[in-house]
Amino acid sequence: MQYEVRKRRKKDHQKRRTSQILWKIEAIYKSLDQLYGTQGLILRASKLDAIDLMSSQDVRDRILALKRVLWENPTLTELDPGEDLEKTLNEIEDLIAEKFARKAVEEDLQQRIQDKMNEKYNEYLRDLQVQVLKEQSSSRENAQTLKKYGQLEKMEQISLNRSALEILRPSSLEEIVGQEKAIRSLVSKLNTPYPQHILLYGPPGVGKTTCARLALEIIRGRQQNPFGPNAPFVEVDGTTLRWDPRESTNPLLGSVHDPIYQGARRELAEDGIPEPKLGLVSEAHGGILFIDEIGEMDQVLQNKLLKVMEDKRVYFESSYYDPHDERIPRYIKKIFEEGVPADFVLIGATTRSPEEISPAFRSRCMEIFFEPLTPAHIQQIVEMSARRLQIHIEPGVAEAIGNYTAEGRGANKLLVDAYALALNEDNRDPDHLVVTCAHVYQAIQNSRLTPPVYARAGHEPEVGCIFGVGVYGYQGSLIELEAIAFPAQTPGQGTIRFNDTAGSMTRDSVFNAAAVLRQTTGKNIKDYDLHINVVGGGKIDGPSAGVAIYLAILSAIEQKPVYQDVAVTGELSIRGRVKAVGGLSEKLQGARQAGVHKILIPADNLSDVPLQMDGLEVIPVKHVQETFEHVFAG
- Residues with catalytic roles: 544, 587
Burial zone of 438 (CB within 10 Å; 0-12 exposed, 13-18 middle, 19+ buried): middle
3-state secondary structure of 32: helix
Positive or negative CA dihedral for 241, 242, 247, 251? negative
Q: Is 576 helix (H, G, I), strand (E, B) or coil?
A: coil
The whole-angstrom separation of Cα 88 and Cα 18 is: 14
Going from the C-alpha of 627 to that of each of 78, 483, 514, 561, 618, the distances in angstroms are: 128, 18, 17, 13, 12
Distance CA 71, CA 79 (A): 14
- Cβ partners under 8 Å of residue 218, min gap 6: 173, 187, 191
Rg of the chain (C-alpha set): 48
**Contact (CB, 8 A) for 540 and 479:** yes
The residue count of the chain comes to 634
Contacts of 610 (CB under 8 A, 6+ apart): 585, 588
- Type of residue at 67: K
Strands 578-579 and 571-572: antiparallel
Question: Which run of H or of E encompasses 314?
Answer: strand 313-314
Q: Minimal CA–CA distance to 459: which of 358, 564, 583, 549? A: 564
Which letter does DSSP use for residue 248 in this model?
S
Coil, strand or helix at 171: coil
* Closest C-alpha among 199, 205, 281 to residue 236: 281
SS3 349: strand
CA distance 318 to 335: 11
Closest CA relative to residue 381, chosen from 397, 365, 360, 394 = 397
CA distance 94 to 363: 84
Other Cβ atoms closer than 10 A to 351? 20
Do residues 494 and 529 touch, judged by C-beta distance below 8 A?
Answer: yes
How many C-beta atoms surround the C-beta of residue 33 within 10 A?
Answer: 14
Q: How many CA atoms lie within 13 A of 313 on its CB side?
A: 10
Query: DSSP letters of 559-575?
Result: T-EE-TTEEE--EE-TT
The helix (H) or strand (E) run that includes residue 507 is helix 504-521
- Closest residue by Cα to residue 282 from 241, 250, 330, 238: 250
Q: Could you give the CA distance from residue 69 to residue 89 in angstroms, rounded to a whole number?
A: 13
Beta bridge partners of 498: 532
Q: How far is CA 271 from the centre of its chain?
A: 33
HSE-CB of 536 using CA atoms within 13 angstroms: 13
Q: How many helices (H) and strands (E) does the chain have?
A: 22, 22
Q: Does an H or E element contain 275, and which?
A: strand 275-278
Q: How many C-beta neighbours within 10 Å does residue 102 have?
A: 10
